[in-house]
Amino acid sequence: MQHNSAHLPSRRTFITGSALGLTALALAGCDRAQSPTPTPTTAPTPTLTSPTGAGTTLEARLVPGEKLDPTKPYRRLAADDGYALVVREDLCKGNPNRAGTRKALAAFGHITDTHILDPTSPAHTILGAFNTVAMDQMQRKLYYFRPQEALTVQVLDAMVRKLNAVKNGPVSGRPFDFYISTGDSSDNRGASEVNAFVDAMNGQKTSAFALPGRYSGLQSSGELPDALSRFIWQPVPPKSGSALWNNERGFPVVQHLLSSASKLITTDGSNVPWYSGFGNHDALVHDGVGMLGTPNESFHRALSTSDKIPLGLPPKIKFSDFMTKLNSSTATEAKALLESMPGNTVEASSLRRPMSKTEFMSAHVMNPGRHGPRGHGFTGENVRSGTAYYRFQLAPGIVGLMLDTTDTTGGGYGSLDAKQAAWLEKELNSISGIRYAANGTKVSTETKNQLAVIFSHHPSTTFSSKSLSVREKGDITSPESIQRFLGQYPNVILWVNGHLHKNVVWPRSSASGKHGFWEVSTASHIDFPQQARSVEVIDNRDGTLSIAGVMIDHSDAYQIDYSSPFTAAGLAAVSSELSMNAANSVGTRMDQNVELLLKKPF
């Protein structure tokens, strides 16, 4: 791996010195040619252990280092000692001698919230920034913009390369069986974004830029109106500067960042099978919350393929009046409204158009890659029915169940509609010889038991009925209802998800019987710490299981040379540093490198 930089000293020196036919896929609107089908490859006081974890945060972790300018807050990237495993016995006590008897049942790499983003898309416009009254009241917080937004493909490629290099679960040594993404693969569901995600996972040359090699967006060095300049970090600022990022926060001038970021990159691609999930940013209108089939969607659809990046509201109109007009407009009126907004002219591209759920899944089915599986979990039936949930054999004796917790009626909340809830119940019943009825009665059948691992974009804490416009009996729309439902099945041992952009681990005790499961949410790839998590399911062969979760940084700590062109690997390291200085939520020690104990259900 090449970097245009030298190693940065440790922070310690600063501190202490099923296939679908081509015709059907074409009707689904997929832009890609079909690839050949590959051959699949096969809260007590914590205690600490320290297994070997080369390449993971058991060995070393990224942290803020020295200041770039002593008078300003921006810090360089640095490395510090790794974190040892925190052994959590919230659900059951562990045998101190279990390391001598254990056997790994499965190991995989979890990535989530990659938010692959075309930063030159007009659809990336920050409309909320034009609400100057609200922004002044909020002190113009940084929510609307990420300085590292042009570097998302480079981060994903670096992460896949790192997972490939780590190779094995760091606790058990079992080779990774697969990698899995739990949604928000794209940021604005643009075709170039979705295709770049699939390409990077498959090891194809790619870019999220609809027009690779050319950057023309909000981070260009031209003058911006005040409403935007207060938010946007420009790597080469205009003469007036960018008060918030460069002058106040001390962000560096990085001459070649945008030209380097816009180039096509040769990705490594997963060297094991990989699976994919569906998130609210993959489903909904701008910022992953807007409802489909609305004037807001019509506006952003027109915006995505337009030749203008809006820089302000139409003349003599208040933000509230603009939004009222937008939300009551026809498709023709929405386009006219866009034309009335001042902005910069850019080259339009149909590759920025938003993809539907069907097209998202079709892009996966059409690109199985070297290791598959075909569809990366999604099947022809998923494409035909428009459902994004599926079952797969995670490992011998373990079933994986990918859920679709997004709600196309809008909002960033999670839920399961009645149809999917019934499917989930049927699938769990088919692998559960022992379960509990809703009234707590134990139910035993002749069904062969298998362990179950649940995957979804949303964690249980975000489940809500707030965004459901149509409600049916059987919907699962609250944290308590989904936890209670899964708690009826002793063989459900783990729920893996994302969405929160931070590392969190929750023990979920069952109200039925004396069992429970662990819920594990992993940080995003776009916000610091930009980590993946290795997950290992281990049979301790003493009546308990261990779920080992270890965080993995995609890049090492490097002293970045801001004046030279960048390799793709160097840009990934830049993204870590920029995101660390923007906003971050690493999680506590109890949420990062963990060994999670639970009783073996059978």
Mean of pLDDT over the chain: 89
Q: Among all chains, which residue has been given the structure tokens 């993995």?
A: 552
Which one has a higher pLDDT value, 85 or 47?
Answer: 85
Integer Cα distance of 531 and 521 in angstroms: 11
Q: For residue 223, which of 312, 329, 350 has the smallest C-alpha distance?
A: 312
The CA-based angle 153-159-165, given to 5 degrees, is 140
Tens digits of residue pLDDT in 326-358: 999 998 998 899 999 999 999 999 999 999 999
- CA-derived radius of gyration, the chain: 24
Taking the C-alpha atoms of residue 574 and residue 401, their distance in angstroms, rounded to an integer, is 36
Q: What does the alpha-carbon distance between residue 237 and residue 222 come to, in Å, rounded to a whole number?
A: 8
Q: What is the DSSP string of 139-199?
A: T--GGG--TTGGGHHHHHHHHHHHHHHH-B-TTT-PBP-EEEE-S--BSS-BHHHHHHHHH
Asked whether 10 and 559 are in contact (CB, 8 A), the reply is no
User: Within its chain, how far is the Cα of 523 from the centroid?
Assistant: 7
Q: What are phi and psi of 321, to 5 degrees?
A: -70, -35
Phi, psi of 61 (to 5 degrees): -140, 155
**Is residue 434's pLDDT more than 80?**
yes
Give tens-digit pLDDT for 258-283: 999 999 999 999 999 999 999 999 99
Arithmetic mean of pLDDT, 578-586: 86
CB atoms within 10 A of CB 515: 22
Q: Residue 7: pLDDT above 70?
A: no
**Could you give the CA distance from residue 491 to residue 583 in angstroms, rounded to a whole number?**
38
Cα 557 to chain centroid distance, Å, stands at 22
Work out the pLDDT band at 85, boundaries 50, 70, 90. very high
Render pLDDT for 435-462 as a digit per residue (tens, 0 to 9). Answer: 999 888 999 999 999 999 999 999 999 9
Q: How far apart are CA 82 and CA 552, in angstroms?
A: 11
What percentage of the chain exceeds 90 in pLDDT?
A: 75
CA atoms within 13 A on the CB side of 165: 16
Pairing of strands 274-276, 103-111: unpaired
Lowest mean pLDDT among 49-63, 214-228, 375-389, 568-582: 49-63
Amino acid at 500: L
Q: How sure is the predictor about 45, in pLDDT bands with cuts at 50, 70 and 90?
A: very low
Task: With beta carbons less than 8 A apart as the criterion, state whether 427 and 396 touch.
Answer: no
pLDDT for position 597: 98
Query: For 78-88, b where at least 16 C-beta lie within 10 A, e where not — what string?
Result: bbbebbbbbbb
**pLDDT 10s digits, 198-251:** 999 999 999 999 999 999 999 999 888 887 887 889 999 887 655 678 888 999
Cα separation, 463 vs 485, whole angstroms = 13
Q: What is the pLDDT of residues 289-334, one digit of tens each?
A: 888 889 989 999 999 999 999 999 999 999 999 999 999 999 899 8
Instruction: Supply φ then ψ for residue 178, to 5 degrees.
Output: -170, 170
Task: Classify domain 5-599 at the CATH superfamily level.
Answer: Metallo-dependent phosphatases (3.60.21.10)
Rounded-to-integer distance, Cα 261 and Cα 552, Å: 23
The percent of residues in the chain predicted with pLDDT above 70, rounded, is: 88
- Of 75-79, 349-353, 468-472, least confident by mean pLDDT is 468-472
- What does the pLDDT read at residue 49? 54
> Residue 229 forms beta bridges with which residues?
none
Q: Kindly state the helix (H) or strand (E) to which residue 553 belongs, with its residue range.
A: strand 544-553
- pLDDT tens column, 492-515: 999 999 999 999 999 999 988 789
- pLDDT level of residue 138 (50, 70, 90 thresholds): low
Those residues whose C-beta lies under 8 Å from the C-beta of residue 537, and which sit 6 or more positions away, are 104, 105, 106, 107, 395, 398, 451, 453, 493, 494, 545, 546, 547
Cα 417 to Cα 304: distance, rounded to the nearest angstrom: 30
